[in-house]
Structure 1
Amino acid sequence: MTQWPDKEGQKTIYNNVSGDASPDRYYFGMVILSCTVATYGLLSNSTAVVIGAMLIAPLMGPILGGALAVATNSNPLLKMSAKAEALGAVTAVVLAALLTLVLPSAELTPEVLARTTPTILDLVVALASGAAGTYAMCVKPQGATLPGVAIATALMPPLCVVGIGLAKQNFSVVSGAFLLFLANMIAINVAAIAMFELAGFSRDSCHDGTCKTGDAKKTTYRMLYPVVLLIVISIPLAFIMYKTYSHANIEKVIKTSLIESLEAIAPHSTLISTDYREQDNRYQVDAAFRTTKIIMPENIRQMENLLELRLGKPVGVSADVVLVQKVNDKTNIDTFQALLPKVKEKEIVEVVRSSTPEEVIDSVLQEKLALLPNSKLEDYTLEYRKGEGTYKVTVKISSASPVDDKLSKTIQNILEERLKRRVEVNIESKAIQNNPAAPQKSNGSLLYEEPK
């Protein structure tokens, strides 16, 4: 069973925490030194130097002081801790900005960028680290746990990144790093308050070296504020985490689809890199291939077709192609021999889109259904509602498997992008087997209005 500190132990812990939370010369000296080490460690992309700065940074002291002040209802300690943390944070940000301006050629390194996209996981890490540090302080005050907590939660590096972002006038970096610092600080504070509460500090409050019975109701009321802050800070962190995982999932789909397309078009090919951006309800993918085959516009269209089916939106692919020769003692795959004698201006092909709505619709339907196994386009009807500026397309297909709503939405998005009109798509699917069941219907939804 956990042996929590007695009154004498609580008095010792209170005095130690109060000393670490004091904004004296030693405190500011360590802030300046640790900030200098952290800033240049971040700008030089040195993980070891950044870890060293975490170990000597004194910012953990005022946070634990504030937590103990809440648990013990000590207003003097709370004011002193808040003053120390605020002044220390401002000092670190200003100093980091000045140090960055001294090196105008400094770039935003991976160590800097890694602290600009905090997620809910950072909050969980800070909660666990704060609880571990406070627990160790109460149970084994002479233990060496706090340095590990300082490394896990990283209070000084995010503040330095805020200063670096200000110097570079990059406010997305500033906001992301400051959010990480706030999340770490609030989470450590909440975890420490909870551990001090379990250790009995709220029952036997200590002030200025003396302990007395505390007011439990008042402590509970004051604990409500950091918990509310924790919930509030969790909202943007959860949103950032969702965006991060969504971006990673889209990247995975793009890479997988391009690799599959390359394997079908040119088996001896390699996908070097990919990047994408989303604008105007459309994905633009930039890729680089290493291949033994000349990639033609129709091959790019094959890739776009597969990506459109999987992403559900119009996709444009632009590729940088590196031609290579593959040779061994038995075979020689040399693209250059076939390419160089035939370089003519007429080989530059421009992909021309169909001009009439019927041709556009037929082309899109044929492309998308070609990717579905055992599916066939039976017929389609086209109706144009002049007053609404809307095309209504009813598609009849036969398929061996059910058709989900994603197909109709994908076709609708592609048609709206090609026709520059609002489009409604209804798909009636009939099973290839002799099935008397009624046809399935899948209705598309309107995504954007006709451009003016």
Structure 2
Amino acid sequence: MNILDNFKLHRETENFKDIVESIYNGVVFKGTNLWILVFAIFIASLGLNVNSPAVVIGAMLISPLMGPIMGLGLGMAINDLTLLKKAGYNYLFAAGVGLVTSAIYFAISPINDAHSEILARTSPNIYDVLIAFFGGLAGILATSSKLKGNVIPGVAIATALMPPLCTAGYGIATWQLDYFLGASYLFLINTVFIALATLITVRLLKFPYKVHPDKSIEKKSNRIVWAIVIITLIPSIYFGYDIVQQNKFQKKASAFVDNEAKFPNNYLLKKNISPSTQEITLTYGGLLIKDSAINALKSKLKKYYLPECNLTIQQGFSYLNENTSKTVQDNLLTTNLKNNANQIETLNLKMDSIQKQKEVSLQVYKELKAQYPSIATFALQPTVLINDSINQNVWISNIKSVEKINPEERKKVKEWLKVRLNSPEIIINFENE
């Protein structure tokens, strides 16, 4: 069997008439479809507002926005002007509803912060183009196949039409033009390249034309399509190139800091690498760093291909300056020694107290064991009894015996321990093995 046969699609392709009818039905936004769109917009807006990826993904799965976009691609591919007009009208209507609904939500929402889920939709690039294109290919192939599987939900998540539309609404509600433009551009990228993927796939699968196109008109239409594609593509290439360059800067700057940014008697408290402005800011704690040492570090930037990088050294604290007088240094040293001595004395007192407590517990156990041989284990610990009206020192004891100690004997043990420990109160827990 020829391996290439595995890649052939015609055996699994649905009837062309059924495919076209399916896409037709998904184009129109009215009734159920429109309400589902509105609810999906609210869900996506809520997810963006509270920065919940799970909620945003849920909105993507619910959203019916893929319908008119695939309709645009199919209408152009089979020269169906009726479908093209209907898809275009419903696409603009759906986008308008999305913008208005999300803008109203964000205008009345008490949370106005732009979290990561919003920020992720404001800087599209060439990678978003590729995601939209391959997602569109998967979507139209699944729609055209008899074996649809679970591709459509995956395409809805991958191409993410709903979040950028809602982010554009956020930009309108908060009067942030850059958010609106960035998110609108991402929505446009998804639209153009899903439609393009649909057009290409339909042509490759040789769907029949509804109206056979005039050659000159077809050439003109193709030129318009490719002009739209190129105009949409060019900015994304620039932004994609910028991301690649920033990523390279990040890696080189991190390598520079890890390998070179080390000073004796200093600790790097914080590093901040800003690829967008090509800046590295390092904050140290310890001895004052000389200008000559800082200049020497800056001279090593060329070694890591960072000649235009702006390196800033900040010193969080400087305990000792090399020019500080010997008297000041001696005073600091004396103070540190005194502090250390005080800490050692405190620790020794704690250890003595623990040792003394062990000795007292052992002696009391021996005395109690002599009176009650059935006692197997004995624990004794000083503590503080606290409630709303009491705050006093007491002892807690746990006595485990082989034979049960009757209530009268228990009372005697308690009174004896009060006298033995010179304590007005003692809490005892009796157990039997």
Task: Sort the TM-score into its range (normalised by shorter chain).
Answer: 0.5 to 0.7
Structure 2 match to 1:230: 229
Q: Does 1:247 align with 2:241?
A: no
Superposed CA RMSD in Å reads 3.1
Structure 1 vs Structure 2: percent identity of aligned residues? 27
Query: Deviation of residue 261 (structure 1)?
Result: 3.3
Name whichever structure is richer in helix by fraction. Answer: 2
Query: Deviation of residue 134 (structure 1)?
Result: 0.8
Structure 2 match to 1:317: 312
* CA contact 2:250–2:275 (8 Å) conserved in 1: no
Distance 1:116 1:179 in 2: 8
Q: Could you tell me the TM-score, scaled by structure 2's length?
A: 0.66
Provide Cα deviations, 1:86-115, integer angstroms capped at 9, x if missing partner. 111121122212211222432111111111
Moved more, 185-194 or 99-108: 99-108
Cα distance change of structure 1 residues 147 and 221 upon mapping to structure 2, 3 Å threshold? farther
Q: Does 1:125 align with 2:131?
A: yes
Q: Does 1:341 align with 2:332?
A: yes
* CA contact 1:5–1:199 (8 Å) conserved in 2: no
Provide Cα deviations, 1:26-70, integer angstroms capped at 9, x if missing partner. 222122111111111112111111111111111100011111111
Structure 1 match to 2:410: none
Distance 1:146 1:267 in 2: 60
Q: How many residues align?
A: 317
* CA contact 2:56–2:163 (8 Å) conserved in 1: yes
Cα distance change of structure 1 residues 340 and 187 upon mapping to structure 2, 3 Å threshold? farther
Cα distance change of structure 1 residues 276 and 6 upon mapping to structure 2, 3 Å threshold? closer
Task: Output the amino acid matched with 1:244.
Answer: I
Query: Deviation of residue 268 (structure 1)?
Result: 6.7
Distance 2:329 2:167 in 1: 53
Q: Does 1:51 align with 2:50?
A: no
SS of the equivalent of 2:133 reads helix
Q: Could you tell me the TM-score, scaled by structure 1's length?
A: 0.63
* CA contact 1:21–1:65 (8 Å) conserved in 2: yes
Provide Cα deviations, 1:206-230, integer angstroms capped at 9, x if missing partner. 4xxxxxx733735564344222211
Q: Does 1:288 align with 2:300?
A: no
- Structure 1: which 5+ residue stretches go unaligned? 207-212, 325-336, 343-452
* CA contact 1:165–1:173 (8 Å) conserved in 2: yes
Task: Output the amino acid matched with 1:226.
Answer: V
Cα distance change of structure 1 residues 316 and 339 upon mapping to structure 2, 3 Å threshold? farther
* CA contact 2:52–2:117 (8 Å) conserved in 1: yes
Q: Does 1:300 align with 2:321?
A: no
Distance 2:272 2:50 in 1: 27
Task: Output the amino acid matched with 1:341.
Answer: L
SS of the equivalent of 1:205 reads coil
SS of the equivalent of 1:319 reads strand
Structure 2 match to 1:205: 209
Structure 1 match to 2:270: 272
Distance 2:250 2:156 in 1: 34
SS of the equivalent of 2:37 reads helix
Cα distance change of structure 1 residues 284 and 142 upon mapping to structure 2, 3 Å threshold? closer
Cα distance change of structure 1 residues 233 and 3 upon mapping to structure 2, 3 Å threshold? closer
* CA contact 1:72–1:219 (8 Å) conserved in 2: no
Provide Cα deviations, 1:298-337, integer angstroms capped at 9, x if missing partner. 443333333367432373514253689xxxxxxxxxxxx9
SS of the equivalent of 1:169 reads coil
Q: Does 1:70 align with 2:76?
A: yes
Distance 1:139 1:16 in 2: 12
Task: Output the amino acid matched with 1:95.
Answer: T
Distance 2:267 2:246 in 1: 25
Provide Cα deviations, 1:330-373, integer angstroms capped at 9, x if missing partner. xxxxxxx969939xxxxxxxxxxxxxxxxxxxxxxxxxxxxxxx
